[in-house]
Amino acid sequence: MSLPSDFLWGFATAAYQIEGSTDVDGRGPSIWDTFCAIPGKIADGSSGVVACDSYKRTKEDIALLKELGAKCYRFSISWSRVIPLGGRNDPINQAGIDHYRQFVDDLLEAGITPFITLFHWDLPDALDKRYGGLLNKEEFTADFENYARLMFKSIPKCKHWITFNEPWCSAINGYNLGIFAPGHTSDRNKSPVGDSAREPWIVGHNILIAHGKAVKVYREEFKPTQGGEIGITLNGDATYPWDPEDPADIEACDRKIEFAISWFADPIYFGDYPASMRKQLGERLPTFTEEEVALVKGSNDFYGMNHYTANYIKHRKGTPPEDDFLGNLETLFYDKNGNCIGPETQSFWLRPNAQGFRNLLNWLSKRYNYPKIYVTENGTSLKGESDLPLEQALEDDFRCKYFHDYVHAMAKAVEEDGVNVKGYMAWSLLDNFEWADGYVTRFGVTYVDYKDNCKRYPKKSARQMKPLFDSLIKKAEVEAAEAAKPAPAVAEEQAEEADA
């Protein structure tokens, strides 16, 4: 047993991926509704119009969480459901607020701790059309601050808030590659608008300012009476050198993490971007004003960690192209000697490597002085899972092994390395709308039958989680007994006195 008795474990989802009901009870469109309507943007031509129908099935989803033994549940709020047009001077939709407030009440009544994400990529479409959305620092940060204040005020019972989910994905996938909403890219075959070399860094900067503003509001106006905590969730992969004897590959491993995670974490913990990013990007990387440094630095009560996979990293020589966002390197699944990082999944970017999870937990802990960490997403797809008949899909042994290996790697990081992990949320509670992959890829521990009224069927991995965590979480009385034990030096002294 190596996880603390107050350790929280459960599952995670996101509004646009599960809720459906996109035009119900006053909800306005988000940039994802608009993006999905463009032919060719989603693998199967689908959208989140129905998804898992979870907006209408909150009680069913809570019953499922309770049945599986979950201690916590991370979900996101659809901004355009509570402020349909998104802006600080736009009308509020009380039906949307009432929905989320009731959902939190029902979760707490079921003994499940809510973790609320304010922004999981689904910006109100009106803000994108009105002033360019995430590209407009003054307008976007002011509107996000207003939205955050509204939610803090409306749902005082929530004690765990996440401002942004994976800002890297919003910035790079949305404004460099163009594969996520709003689809900006320099590739004119994919989009008529976008500047892949500049827009992502502007978007990342604006998200950090918006995050800082929301945290300031929470700490000054709500935390004194509500007593909760607030942070941001960042995503990143583990790294191994392609050639472990090449110092340039070893250095590139750190640079890869810096371009993915430290891009956002360094300003929050240290007040500025990593030197490696400044060196490569130059003036394209925005500069923080003194006011912005004061706003952003220290704006994390915890570190939200999304993690799935690992890569071998091979450095590149010469000047990187302007639209490079990796740090002048290659990410590979095979190293110099032909060793494979892990088995294939349905997701081209994901291969399991549990040791990488432990390594990254240590890397982050050492760099950021051992912060409290919540693992807010971790999970895997299975190759060909959507093609399996229901009975076979429920026997997801591959996913079971993934969770077993990753959770044990995390527990070892806690027990043996001193990493301060306080919670773990598996991605995902349900098979759902997997963004650009549509419904082709499944990540859920619960099978959703999209052809039969979105019926839910827990998979083997869903049933595995409670016994897995029960075997690792210490009982409170064990912790109390351990705490009461004298320190080794004192115990030795007491033994000597007893002998005497």
Q: 229-235 and 160-165: which strand pairing?
A: parallel
Q: Strands, E, within 192-320: which ranges?
A: 229-235, 238-241, 303-306, 310-315
DSSP-derived letter for residue 314 is E
User: Three-state SS for 448?
Assistant: strand
Kindly give, in sequence order, each residue whose CB lies less than 8 Å from that of residue 162, ignoring residues fewer than 6 positions away.
Answer: 74, 115, 116, 117, 118, 230, 231, 232, 233, 304, 376
How many other CB atoms sit within 10 Å of the CB of residue 340?
13
For residues 395 and 391, what is the distance between their CA atoms, to the nearest angstrom? 7
Q: What is the dihedral of CA 167, 217, 107, 401, to 10 degrees?
A: 30
Angle at alpha carbon of residue 162, lines to 156 and 166, rounded to 5°: 160
User: Alpha helix (H) ranges present in 69-198?
Assistant: 79-82, 94-109, 125-131, 137-154, 167-168, 174-175
Give me the active site residues, please. 166, 377
How many other CB atoms sit within 10 Å of the CB of residue 421?
20
For residues 205 and 39, what is the distance between their CA atoms, to the nearest angstrom? 31
For residues 336 and 314, what is the distance between their CA atoms, to the nearest angstrom? 9
Asked whether 222 and 214 are in contact (CB, 8 A), the reply is: no
Q: 310-315 and 329-332: which strand pairing?
A: antiparallel
Tell me the CB-side half-sphere exposure of residue 68, using CA atoms within 13 A.
33
DSSP-derived letter for residue 473 is B
Structure tokens at 125: 């479409």
Kindly give, in sequence order, each residue whose CB lies less than 8 Å from that of residue 223, ignoring residues fewer than 6 positions away.
Answer: 229, 230
Q: List strands edge to edge, sheet with 310-315.
A: 238-241, 310-315, 329-332
